Amino acid sequence: MTFRHSSLAIAGLTAALCVATPAFSAPADTQPHPGSITSVELLNPAFSLPDAGRALKITYLSTNGVTDKGLVPVTAEVILPAGTPPAGGWPIVAWAHGTVGVADHCAPSNNPWTDRNRRYLSEWMKRGFAVVGTDYQGLGTPGTHAYLNTRVEAYSLLDAIRAALGNIPGLQNKIMIVGQSQGGGAAFASAAFSSTYAPELGIRGTVATGAPYITPELMQQMIAAPASGHTEAAYNPVVVYTLYLARGQAGYDPNFRPEDAFTPKAMSAYQEAANLCVYELTDKVKQDGLNFGNSLKPGYSKALAPALAAMTYPTLKLSQPLFMGTGELDRDVPPALQHGLVKAACAAGTTVQAHVYKGLNHDQTVNASLADSAAFTKAVMNGQSVTPECNPTPK
């Protein structure tokens, strides 16, 4: 069953998707643009959320975030709550996922949700939100996934919202941007880019947990100082992320030489990072006994300079309020990096409500933050002010 890009076809999309898996093709005479949808199919039921209604996988066009010009295909999940949409349609949670890897088979739309994310996003759906979750450019589609490139992540997420709003019935232009870890940074980046890249989107606020913020000083501090309670030789999850960062840069930087960044001991893990998803690469790093001391060469920061530069945010002053949740014992994105983002955003004039969760790690903080983010979300969705907090204490 094929749908043409007409009002009649769009109007019939809801009913048709309940009984068939169509190919949804834009006509040749339609000018492609960021947010153009090129195909939609039913999402594998095993990849949906509990008690959801329609669950779709879409392919859409997005501005190439690596080059900042041209269009590339990107995939996303669109999952709607069960039942009749409210007047005006379901508001949207634009979900920015955490690290999964850089290989196509690691893309979220090709895999079931983790238990943590299933619980987390199910709670958002119970609040009455539909979920639009981009895979990011280069994950599940041709080309390199430029890992932690904030422009890539932001364009992918903002164009996923455009594609869903323009083509999937039952949605409304009231949006919360929500992300964790890599996705926490992607959420902040999307909010930062939105005022110039997608000003028509009705973004009400941003919720981020475990969001990274890199400056040269913080990067040196993170690598030089072992985590509290651990020896310098102990496994550090940031080694995994550094390998993915390098693999991403290798895909667009012809001058990158991995031997300038990594020791011979780390080269096997670097090569396998191209294909291993995050849990498998974590096992590989542990098996090989890799840590910063035996994996990075002194010139690593120069070799990775393009990728590190691409992690910066275009502005730290967001137009909408920001919720930041940090685990006191986070080792994946050390609290110093997250606190750095809070302080920098506050100083720039962003309304920030930051929370630190006592005794919790990177993963545990996600669902522990739900009650606080619910209150924050209710306020911003209703146009009410939120209480700023730029110097949170663990609770």
The pLDDT of residue 177 is above 80: yes
The pLDDT of residue 174 is above 80: yes
Q: How far apart are CA 294 and CA 45, in angstroms?
A: 44
pLDDT value for 214: 82
The pLDDT of residue 3 is above 70: no
pLDDT value for 30: 72
Residue 169: CA count within 13 A, CB half-sphere: 13
The pLDDT of residue 39 is above 60: yes
The pLDDT of residue 107 is above 90: yes
With H, G, I as helix, E, B as strand and everything else as coil, classify residue 97.
coil
* Alpha-helical segments (H) within the chain: 7-11, 13-17, 115-126, 150-167, 182-197, 216-224, 238-250, 258-261, 264-272, 278-287, 292-295, 300-303, 305-309, 335-348, 362-368, 370-381
pLDDT value for 22: 39
pLDDT value for 18: 40
Determine how β-strand 171-180 pairs with β-strand 90-96: parallel
The pLDDT of residue 355 is above 70: yes
Q: How far apart are CA 201 and CA 321, in angstroms?
A: 15
pLDDT value for 319: 97
Partners of 63 in the beta sheet? 71
pLDDT value for 105: 97
| Residues 355/392, Cβ–Cβ less than 8 Å | yes
Q: How far apart are CA 369 and CA 377, in angstroms?
A: 12
Residue of higher predicted confidence among 14 and 95: 95
* Nearest one of 23, 14, 43 to 140, comparing CA atoms: 43
- What is the average pLDDT across 177-182? 98
